[in-house]
């Protein structure tokens, strides 16, 4: 990976972690959180 790709990956990772955390706190539907948690980008956050 180039330096730019590593930087972009880190940024996307942090965004994904933030989005999943918000979904876990704000949603009333556990199906949505479970769906998001199963997406590939979120798999590396577990």
Q: Where do the domains of the chain lie?
A: 3-43
pLDDT of residue 45: 62
pLDDT of residue 25: 93
Q: Which residue has the higher pLDDT, 45 or 24?
A: 24
Q: Are 16 and 42 in contact (CB under 8 A)?
A: yes
1 vs 23: CA distance, rounded Å:
30
Between helix 3-26 and helix 30-38 the angle, nearest 10°, is: 160
Summarised one tens digit per residue, pLDDT across range 18-36 is: 888 899 999 889 998 888 8
> Which residues are CB-contacts of 6 (< 8 A; sequence separation ≥ 6)?
none
Specify burial of residue 36 (Cβ count, 10 A radius: 0-12, 13-18, 19+). middle
């Amino acid at each position: 990976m180039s330096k730019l790709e590593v930087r972009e990956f880190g940024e996307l990772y942090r965004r994904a972690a933030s989005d999943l955390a918000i979904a876990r706190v704000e949603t009333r539907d556990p199906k949505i959180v479970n769906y998001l948690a199963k997406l590939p980008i979120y798999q590396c956050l577990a």
